[in-house]
Amino acid sequence: MSAHALFRPEDTRFQVDADRLIERLARVLPAEGLVVDEDARRPYECDGLAAYKQLPLLVAIPDTIAQVQEVMAICSELNVPVVARGSGTSLSGGSLPHPQGVLLSLARFNRVKHIDAERRLARVEPGVRNLAITEAAAPHGLYYAPDPSSQIACSIGGNVGENAGGVHCLKYGLTVHNVVELTVVTVDGDLVTIGSEAPDSPGYDLLALFHGSEGMLGVIVDITVQLLPNPLTKDVLMASFDRVEDGGRAVAAIIAAGIIPGGLEMMDGPATRAAEDFVHAGYDIEAGAILICELDGSAAEVADQREAVEAVMREHGATAIQVAADDAEKARFWAGRKAAFPAAGRLAPDYYCMDGTIPRKHLATVLQRISEISEAHGLQTINVFHAGDGNLHPLILFDANQPGQLEAAEAVGSAILQLCVEVGGTVTGEHGVGMEKINEMCVQFASAEIEQFHAVKRAFDPQGLLNPGKAIPTLNRCAEFGKLHVHKGELPHPELERL
Amino acid sequence: MSAHALFRPEDTRFQVDADRLIERLARVLPAEGLVVDEDARRPYECDGLAAYKQLPLLVAIPDTIAQVQEVMAICSELNVPVVARGSGTSLSGGSLPHPQGVLLSLARFNRVKHIDAERRLARVEPGVRNLAITEAAAPHGLYYAPDPSSQIACSIGGNVGENAGGVHCLKYGLTVHNVVELTVVTVDGDLVTIGSEAPDSPGYDLLALFHGSEGMLGVIVDITVQLLPNPLTKDVLMASFDRVEDGGRAVAAIIAAGIIPGGLEMMDGPATRAAEDFVHAGYDIEAGAILICELDGSAAEVADQREAVEAVMREHGATAIQVAADDAEKARFWAGRKAAFPAAGRLAPDYYCMDGTIPRKHLATVLQRISEISEAHGLQTINVFHAGDGNLHPLILFDANQPGQLEAAEAVGSAILQLCVEVGGTVTGEHGVGMEKINEMCVQFASAEIEQFHAVKRAFDPQGLLNPGKAIPTLNRCAEFGKLHVHKGELPHPELERL
């Protein structure tokens, strides 16, 4: 949001000779693969977090891995920052361009290279859309499980960079649990393979390290994901509760009963009513909260689980339970949930979507506190979330044209994230830190921990060229934000501030 | 094995003043916590890979985290190597002492600190035995899933260090998938928290990075693991096949059918007969291979899966299928598998247990090649393995008292691991690299990749004090082993050789 200063001085310390850079890049990129003209660079000035805008110095759109290697070698040599970008759907400004840097678009890396149905693997390029993997696998009765809400548009390279989640991740894991191998171009243009198609790989677990690293360790150019067989049966239940707290307790009790649903999503009353107004999904608009639960597996397994889930829901105060009768009704139950964000856009001119994670058992109290914090700032927050894994998406409603409301929304958002940390949670569930939540990282981590992150970063990118200013705050930034945990009375390693 | 040179010159470059070190450590450790006497150090000279022996300079046995911090601060200041050790059951020499270093025993960190039944978490000290976690969780109807064969003895800290697997890991994941938070003492004595009880953690994924890092990044002093509810029902099937290849294909077909058994283990004919002779489990001694399959879940789910598994087994040539009638029979079916290693010890005076992983679809051909390789060296290899995840444990039988047999066994082992890499697998499934397989890492990885591992190591341990000479070979070692992938015609970063 505009109230933040986007980049700090230490993030914009680069002295780039643009003419020389253009001359060098033009030799390795196809003619239409180097974008210099300001108007043509404009579409790249922001990602899904449109409140943050920054024109890149240049845009490079390579066609081949060899070209990516050349671009990185040139940028390393000339000390030029590089921000990689897939579909640009990041909700945290992860692919926000750097003013002195190259925006490296991987849009042309959009091929599904191979589906190995027997081994249930797909080898894809990083610019392939998430849903396109499932579409390519469908003829084999297979699908790719992690399903961010943006799956129609977001690309798999970005999914790895942000370790994306989604409705199915409760049962089938985050992106990191569904990727087996990466090919990465290092900051100086080398090509390395990370992970393997075998179940475990010796050496340090760089595969997991790259997940959620937000483009700061290398440029991913090839990804092998595992596919799952389509479930034989799926049931979708929808339960109404008078109070959000009851729904929260039902969620905890379902998991505690040893059932891991394929999806377990909750919406509070205002979110339910907004979604119902928008898509007419048949939601209970009298409810204080609704819970949507998808069960998948064999017919016997699903029947068994449905019975158990219904019992737990009733025990925790469900006032009504509907079971979708057919595929059309299953789709309808989900339609409202999937439309919740656009529906929120009908309640207020603007909304700010947060993304915190908390231990499940604190759901009820945290929701109560979010409501109090919002009221104290004169705003309303509605709640839509991946209840099963404790990942909240509070939508803070505001009107940017009313003086002070943007700042109030930011204050509410920051207070919510600090609340998540207080109860043992984290400042991001699946949207990443990017530029948006970089100050909150100072709340989440002690300086020794942030220092360790920077040391890891230096192991991959000693010059600090990959996506500078994102994900891991400098200790100077934390000091300014007032949250620095001072280490033995002094700033540890002043040279860290270079990164 | 004795044929290897254990440490290379670059691993033993430390100039340690033993008297000064003893004087400093004695001030921070309890009296019985510093072992100087040679006879008292003797029990620490090897771990589960007893062929490798090395006396440590000193043994430190701290009682508290603060003492571990002090030991690390002193060793960092005096530039002294440190090898951390739990129960010392490593099969790859991961906790083999360093001749100039401190062996840091975490034996006194043996408390289960807290079981949170509602959140299904256990907070434990690193020296707690794997099985002791399940024992502590049992009153709550919970258990800890990863179950290495050594689970009676091995400690959870070592499980994290080696990212240990086990029978249940096919369905429930490796150690890395079952640990949520670590407290770590850094090489210079700081205390950092890694991971969180919430589902995802922002920042780089250091939690995964520590798994399988073999004590080379920090000293783990506190571990929070997730627990699972005991399954409602368990069935154990045992199928006979005329040929190992048929069993291998049945395994691939079960997984391809979308069934993930709780355990799926295979033994070839010789292993089956050895186990049967030893424990009289009722195994089919006429079979070319037997497959043991455990299914767990609700009664309906298990019944469903049992039917499907039996059909797949018959389709792939199962000549007989038994289903255990009761708990006693289930235990009996497993007893032979669990006793396979000691049973092998009755076939030959010595055996060498390998641990490679391959893509499942190559099971049949790899088993055939292992048999040919062994014959070519005049030895027999029997095979026991976690078939479901393609993790082989070939047991190479030999007699160390026959001249040349030890070397032949090592040659067979190395050839098997190279074969695993050739078919797209890895040189270790769950036993780690340690000292044993360090040369094979040169086969597995290109020099740019090994260089990247060293850079990560330096981010945590710039002086190279933590477990020197293990897990990641120096490029000099690879050059000597004849497998160095030379990078642009020269050794990259000669300073790497310090590590």
Ranges of CATH 3.30.465.10 domains, chain A:
112-229
Which residues in chain A (349-368) have CB-CB distances under 8 A to chain B? 357-361
H or E element in which residue A396 lies: strand A391-398
Class of domain B233-337: alpha beta
> Scanning every residue of chain A, which has its alpha carbon at the shortest distance from the alpha carbon of B215?
A204
As a whole number of Å, the end-to-end CA separation of chain B is 23
In angstroms, the CA A49 to CA B203 distance is: 19
Angle formed by the axes of helices B363-376 and B244-256, to 10°? 150
Q: CATH for A233-341, among 3.30.70.3450, 3.40.50.300, 1.10.10.10, 3.30.565.10?
A: 3.30.70.3450
pLDDT grade, residue A487 (50/70/90)? very low
Preferred mutation among A169, A185, A232, A452 to probe B, highest tally of B CBs within 10 A:
A452
Contacts of A376 (CB under 8 A, 6+ apart): none
User: What ipTM score was computed for the predicted complex, to two decimals?
Assistant: 0.80
Ranges of CATH 3.30.43.10 domains, chain A:
9-105
Of these ranges, A1-5, A150-154, B112-116, the one predicted with the greatest mean pLDDT is B112-116
Ranges of CATH 3.30.70.2740 domains, chain B:
348-422
Q: Is the pLDDT of residue B3 over 90?
A: no
pLDDT digits (tens, 9 = 90+) for B324-355: 999 999 999 998 888 888 888 888 998 888 88
Q: Is the pLDDT of residue A492 over 50?
A: no
pLDDT digits (tens, 9 = 90+) for A319-371: 999 999 999 999 999 988 888 888 888 889 988 888 888 887 788 789 889 99
Q: What percent of chain A shows pLDDT beyond 70?
A: 95
Which pLDDT value is given to residue B129? Answer: 97
Which pLDDT value is given to residue B196? Answer: 82
Q: Into which CATH architecture does domain B9-105 fall?
A: 2-Layer Sandwich (3.30)
> Scanning every residue of chain A, which has its alpha carbon at the shortest distance from the alpha carbon of B174?
A200
Contact B426 A201 (CB under 8 A): yes
Mean pLDDT of A250-271: 89
B251/chain A closest Cα distance in angstroms: 12
Q: Is the pLDDT of residue A489 over 60?
A: no
Q: Is the pLDDT of residue A488 over 50?
A: no
Which pLDDT value is given to residue B188? Answer: 96
Mean pLDDT of B374-380: 95
In angstroms, the CA A139 to CA A147 distance is: 19
Q: Is the pLDDT of residue A119 over 90?
A: no
pLDDT grade, residue A2 (50/70/90)? very low
Is B174's Cβ below 8 Å from some Cβ in A?
Answer: yes
Nearest Cβ partner of A198 from B192, B207, B425?
B425
Cα dihedral B277, B281, B285, B288, rounded to 10, equals -120
pLDDT digits (tens, 9 = 90+) for B253-294: 898 787 889 999 999 999 999 999 988 989 999 999 999 999
Per DSSP bridges, beta strands B58-60 and B318-323 are unpaired
Nearest Cβ partner of B359 from A190, A197, A301?
A197
Q: Which of B187, B163, B164 is nearest to B104 (CA)?
A: B187
Nearest Cβ partner of B202 from A176, A298, A427?
A427
Contact A206 B453 (CB under 8 A): yes
pLDDT digits (tens, 9 = 90+) for B127-180: 999 999 999 999 999 999 999 888 989 999 999 999 998 888 888 999 999 999
Q: Is the pLDDT of residue B50 over 90?
A: no
Is A300's Cβ below 8 Å from some Cβ in B?
Answer: yes
Q: Is the pLDDT of residue A103 over 80?
A: yes
**Per mean pLDDT, which range of A182-196, B70-84, B407-421, B475-489 is the poorest?**
B475-489
Which pLDDT value is given to residue A3? Answer: 37
Mean pLDDT of A199-227: 93
Q: Which of A219, A242, A103, A80 is nearest to A160 (CA)?
A: A219
Q: Into which CATH architecture does domain B112-229 fall?
A: 2-Layer Sandwich (3.30)
Ranges of CATH 3.30.70.3450 domains, chain B:
233-337
Preferred mutation among B200, B260, B361 to probe A, highest tally of A CBs within 10 A:
B200
> Scanning every residue of chain A, which has its alpha carbon at the shortest distance from the alpha carbon of B199?
A389
The mean of the pLDDT values for chain A is 90
Which residues in chain A (18-77) have CB-CB distances under 8 A to chain B? none
Contacts of B388 in chain A (CB under 8 A): none
Nearest Cβ partner of A297 from B186, B301, B430?
B301
Nearest Cβ partner of A426 from B165, B200, B449?
B200
Is B472's Cβ below 8 Å from some Cβ in A?
Answer: yes
Q: What percent of chain A shows pLDDT beyond 90?
A: 64
Contact B205 A202 (CB under 8 A): no
Contacts of A449 in chain B (CB under 8 A): 192-194, 203
Contacts of B163 in chain A (CB under 8 A): 200, 205
pLDDT digits (tens, 9 = 90+) for A16-70: 999 999 999 999 999 999 999 999 999 999 998 888 899 999 999 999 999 999 9
The mean of the pLDDT values for chain B is 90
B395/chain A closest Cα distance in angstroms: 20
Contact A430 B201 (CB under 8 A): no
Contact B200 A120 (CB under 8 A): no
Q: Is the pLDDT of residue B498 over 50?
A: no
Nearest Cβ partner of B193 from A229, A360, A449?
A449
Domain B348-422 sits in CATH at 3.30.70.2740
pLDDT grade, residue A135 (50/70/90)? very high
